[in-house]
Amino acid sequence: MAVYTHLGAEQLEGLIAAYDVGALVSAKGIAEGVSNSNWLIETTGTRDERQRFILTLYEKRIDTNELPFFLGLLDHLAQRGCAVPATVHDRDGAAWREIAGKSAALIEFLPGVSPGKPTPAQARAVGAALAQIHLAARDFPLARCDDLDLAACTAMLASCGKERLAEIDPALAQTIEVAHAAAKHQPEGLPESIIHSDLFPDNVLMLGDRVTGLIDFYFACNGAMAYDLAVTHAAWCFDRNGAVLHGRLSNALLAGYESVRALQDDERAALPALAERACLRFLASRAEDWLETPSDVQVMRKDPMDFWRRLTVYREIGIDAFAKA
């Protein structure tokens, strides 16, 4: 949550001049994006009306070779009417440019704010928006592997080590075994598309109950659509610390999803195992961050226990976590 690279006004003005968007009026570094620097840009626009954009500078974690996938996906989905920001192309048609030795993309600004405490009506709308991107992405021609599949997450947990996991919380001593066990009952052969795989409320812009933007597709990859629904379920349907599953949010999310794309029986049956996998993924990345970040640093460390608690709920009540009320 920071701006890692300093860009002077002259550099920003030069960059913006390469696009047909008018002249630079304002640029504010914004506190979004975990591994990129982002600015909210305002320009004089092309039709006598100021326009806003997000400028993203890709820092080390994102491989420039993957930009055709990420930026092409946004264009593909936006063209099909999904609520995602389109990529602005420069005067030569390029989707990204070089600045300060890094790649930068200018992306459409979308209105909306991320819900802090989602309502059922909002969860329903997000379910529908998720299904829309799943259907629209099916004919996207590029592919990308999931870097954070269950094997990768199990390896992350193993490299943290049982002792250090237990230092975070004694309960976490069991996670490596739980991950091995979860691997044994993961479903195969479920219908796939491109999945967002990180659709937390922070990555959804809304105005009231309407989704105005799904953002931050930098974990998008090929994968089972039902897994993406399970990720979204874990991200939306619990209280913040993961102790309480809210049945009304769960019902609404699933109903919203199925209002656009009906789940197959095997997908529905797979949801508990997929949700365990989702929890293990966030647990693993948070545990790694927790152990790597000195505790005295003023950086928000996300508590891995929030996903241990969710995992416990899914393991205990299984398919009932997704049952209709």
Q: Which two tokens stand for residue 280?
A: 């293990």
Q: What is the CA radius of gyration of the chain?
A: 20
- Does residue 14 interact with its own copies by CB under 8 A? no
- Residue 306 as a binder of its own copies (CB under 8 A): the answer is no
Q: Site size for its own copies, by CB under 8 A? A: 38
Assess 60 for contact with its own copies (CB under 8 A). no
184 near its own copies, rule: CB under 8 A = no
| Residue 15 interacting with its own copies (CB under 8 A) | no
Instruction: Provide the 3-class DSSP secondary structure of residue 100.
Output: coil
Query: Which range binds its own copies by CB under 8 A, 9-17, 64-72, 139-147, 226-234?
Result: 9-17
Say what angle helices 120-136 and 67-79 make with each other, to 10 degrees: 110
Structure tokens given for 324 = 């209709």
**DSSP 3-state of 223:** strand
Write phi, then psi, for 286 (nearest 5 degrees).
-70, -35
Asked whether position 34 contacts its own copies by CB under 8 A, the answer is no
3-state secondary structure of 99: strand
Spatial distance between the Cα atoms of 246 and 236, rounded to a whole number of angstroms = 9
Other Cβ atoms less than 10 A from the Cβ of 164: the count is 14
Residues 270-299, one symbol each (x = binds its own copies by CB under 8 A, - = not), give ------------------------x-xxx-
Q: Does 42 bind its own copies (CB under 8 A)?
A: yes
Applying CB under 8 A, which of residues 113, 151, 243, 317 lies at the interface with its own copies?
113
Q: Which stretch binds its own copies (CB under 8 A): 185-193, 201-209, 227-235, 246-254?
A: 201-209
CB of 120 to its own copies, least distance (A): 15
- Of the candidates 17, 18, 24, 99, which one interacts with its own copies according to CB under 8 A? 24
- The answer to whether the beta carbons of residues 247 and 318 sit under 8 Å apart is no
Contacts with its own copies, 69-108, as mask; x by CB under 8 A: ----------------------------------------
- Shortest separation between residue 34's beta carbon and its own copies, angstroms: 12
Residue type, 80: R
Closer residue to its own copies (CB): 212 or 222: 212
Q: Does 138 bind its own copies (CB under 8 A)?
A: no
Nearer to its own copies, 200 or 258 (CB): 200
From 17, 29, 108, 187, residue interacting with its own copies (rule: CB under 8 A):
29
Give the span between the Cα atoms of 132 and 243, in whole angstroms.
30
Query: Amino acid letter at 192?
Result: E
Report d(CA 182, CA 153) in Å as an integer. Answer: 11
d(CA 169, CA 159): 16
Sign of the Cα pseudo-torsion (133, 136, 137, 138, in order): positive
Q: Could you write out the DSSP letters of every residue in 233-257?
A: HHHHSB-TTSS-B-HHHHHHHHHHH
Q: Which of 18, 45, 66, 114 binds its own copies (CB under 8 A)?
A: 114
**Which position among 205, 237, 249, 270 is part of the footprint of its own copies (CB under 8 A)?**
205
Q: For residue 293, what is the DSSP state?
A: S
- Candidate residues 22, 85, 96, 115; the one interacting with its own copies per rule CB under 8 A: 115
107 or 157: CB nearest its own copies: 107
The amino acid at 203:
N
Q: How far apart are CA 90 and CA 18, in angstroms?
A: 6
27 contributes a contact to its own copies by CB under 8 A: yes
Nearer to its own copies, 111 or 161 (CB): 111
Residues that bind its own copies (CB under 8 A): 1-4, 6-13, 24-32, 40, 42, 109, 111-117, 205-207, 294, 296-298
